[in-house]
Amino acid sequence: MLQKLSDHIADCYTNAAECEGHAREANDKFKGEYLRMAKRWSHLAKSYEFVEMLERFLLDAHKKRAPLHQEDLPKPPTAVD
Protein backbone atom coordinates (compact mmCIF):
# COMPACT_ATOMS: atom_id res chain seq x y z
CA MET A 1 0.00 0.00 0.00
CA LEU A 2 2.82 2.45 0.81
CA GLN A 3 4.29 2.09 -2.69
CA LYS A 4 0.94 2.97 -4.27
CA LEU A 5 0.71 6.06 -2.08
CA SER A 6 4.21 7.12 -3.07
CA ASP A 7 3.25 6.76 -6.72
CA HIS A 8 0.10 8.86 -6.17
CA ILE A 9 2.13 11.51 -4.34
CA ALA A 10 4.66 11.72 -7.17
CA ASP A 11 1.88 11.94 -9.76
CA CYS A 12 0.16 14.75 -7.85
CA TYR A 13 3.37 16.79 -7.63
CA THR A 14 4.02 16.16 -11.33
CA ASN A 15 0.53 17.41 -12.18
CA ALA A 16 1.02 20.45 -9.94
CA ALA A 17 4.29 21.29 -11.71
CA GLU A 18 2.61 20.90 -15.11
CA CYS A 19 -0.18 23.25 -14.07
CA GLU A 20 2.38 25.79 -12.85
CA GLY A 21 4.13 25.52 -16.22
CA HIS A 22 0.86 26.09 -18.05
CA ALA A 23 0.17 29.08 -15.79
CA ARG A 24 3.49 30.67 -16.78
CA GLU A 25 2.56 30.33 -20.46
CA ALA A 26 -1.15 31.16 -20.17
CA ASN A 27 -2.78 34.50 -20.72
CA ASP A 28 -4.30 36.32 -17.76
CA LYS A 29 -7.70 34.74 -18.38
CA PHE A 30 -6.42 31.21 -17.62
CA LYS A 31 -3.38 31.84 -15.43
CA GLY A 32 -5.40 31.97 -12.19
CA GLU A 33 -7.22 28.75 -12.99
CA TYR A 34 -3.97 26.89 -13.67
CA LEU A 35 -2.51 28.19 -10.40
CA ARG A 36 -5.62 27.06 -8.50
CA MET A 37 -5.33 23.60 -10.08
CA ALA A 38 -1.65 23.45 -9.11
CA LYS A 39 -2.57 24.34 -5.53
CA ARG A 40 -5.25 21.61 -5.47
CA TRP A 41 -2.81 19.00 -6.81
CA SER A 42 -0.26 20.03 -4.17
CA HIS A 43 -2.89 19.80 -1.45
CA LEU A 44 -3.91 16.34 -2.64
CA ALA A 45 -0.25 15.27 -2.55
CA LYS A 46 0.06 16.56 1.02
CA SER A 47 -3.10 14.64 1.95
CA TYR A 48 -1.61 11.44 0.53
CA GLU A 49 1.62 12.18 2.43
CA PHE A 50 -0.42 12.48 5.63
CA VAL A 51 -2.11 9.13 4.98
CA GLU A 52 1.30 7.60 4.28
CA MET A 53 2.73 9.01 7.54
CA LEU A 54 -0.27 7.77 9.47
CA GLU A 55 0.00 4.32 7.92
CA ARG A 56 3.71 4.13 8.77
CA PHE A 57 2.96 5.29 12.30
CA LEU A 58 0.25 2.69 12.80
CA LEU A 59 2.36 -0.11 11.31
CA ASP A 60 5.28 0.85 13.52
CA ALA A 61 3.04 1.09 16.60
CA HIS A 62 1.55 -2.29 15.80
CA LYS A 63 5.02 -3.84 15.55
CA LYS A 64 6.03 -2.33 18.89
CA ARG A 65 2.62 -2.98 20.45
CA ALA A 66 2.82 0.51 21.89
CA PRO A 67 -0.39 2.12 23.09
CA LEU A 68 -1.62 4.91 20.83
CA HIS A 69 -2.04 8.41 22.24
CA GLN A 70 -3.74 11.19 20.34
CA GLU A 71 -0.85 13.63 20.85
CA ASP A 72 1.51 11.15 19.14
CA LEU A 73 -0.51 11.05 15.91
CA PRO A 74 0.76 13.01 12.87
CA LYS A 75 -1.00 16.31 12.23
CA PRO A 76 -3.28 16.54 9.13
CA PRO A 77 -2.53 19.04 6.35
CA THR A 78 -4.17 22.44 6.52
CA ALA A 79 -7.17 23.26 4.34
CA VAL A 80 -6.85 24.87 0.92
CA ASP A 81 -8.60 28.19 0.33
List, for residues 54-80, the tens digit of each pLDDT value: 988 888 877 776 556 777 777 888 877
For the question of whether the overall pTM of this predicted structure is more than 0.75, the answer is no
C-alpha span between 48 and 21 (Å, rounded): 23
Q: Taking the domains of the chain in order of start, what are their residue ranges? A: 2-72
pLDDT digits (tens, 9 = 90+) for 43-52: 999 999 999 9
Given a cut of 80, whether residue 41 has pLDDT beyond it is: yes
Q: Can you tell me the distance from the alpha carbon of 77 to that of 72, in angstroms, rounded to the nearest whole number?
A: 16
